[in-house]
Amino acid sequence: MTGRSKKTEQAQQWFEALRDRICAAFEAIEHEAGSDARFNYTPWSREEQGNDNPGGGTRGLMKGHVFEKVGVNVSTVHGNFAPDFAASINGASAENPGFTATGISLVAHMANPHVPAVHMNTRFLVTGKAWFGGGADLNPPIPYAEDTEQFHARLRAACAAHNPTYYERFSKWAEEYFYIPHRGVHRGVGGIFYDHLECPDEAAFERNFAFTRDVGEAFLDAFPAIVRRRMNAEWSQADKREQLEWRGRYAEFNLVYDRGTLFGLKTGGNVDAILMSLPPEAAWD
Would you list the domain boundaries of the chain? 6-277
* Model pLDDT, residue 4: 57
**Which residues carry out catalysis?**
119
pLDDT of 65-110, one tens digit each? 999 999 999 999 998 888 888 888 888 888 888 899 999 999 999 9
Asked if residues 183 and 252 have their Cβ atoms less than 8 Å apart, the reply is yes
- The SS3 call for residue 183 is coil
* Model pLDDT, residue 1: 41
The domain over range 6-277 is classified in CATH as 3.40.640.10: no
Mean pLDDT for the stretch of residues 210-214 = 98
Asked if residues 130 and 92 have their Cβ atoms less than 8 Å apart, the reply is no
Asked if residues 52 and 81 have their Cβ atoms less than 8 Å apart, the reply is no
89 compared with 140, residue with greater pLDDT: 140
Mean pLDDT for the stretch of residues 101-122 = 97
* Model pLDDT, residue 38: 98
For residue 217, what are the CA distances in angstroms to 144, 185, 236?
22, 29, 34
* Model pLDDT, residue 264: 85
| Average pLDDT score, the chain | 94
Q: Would the pTM of this model clear 0.75, i.e. be above it?
A: yes
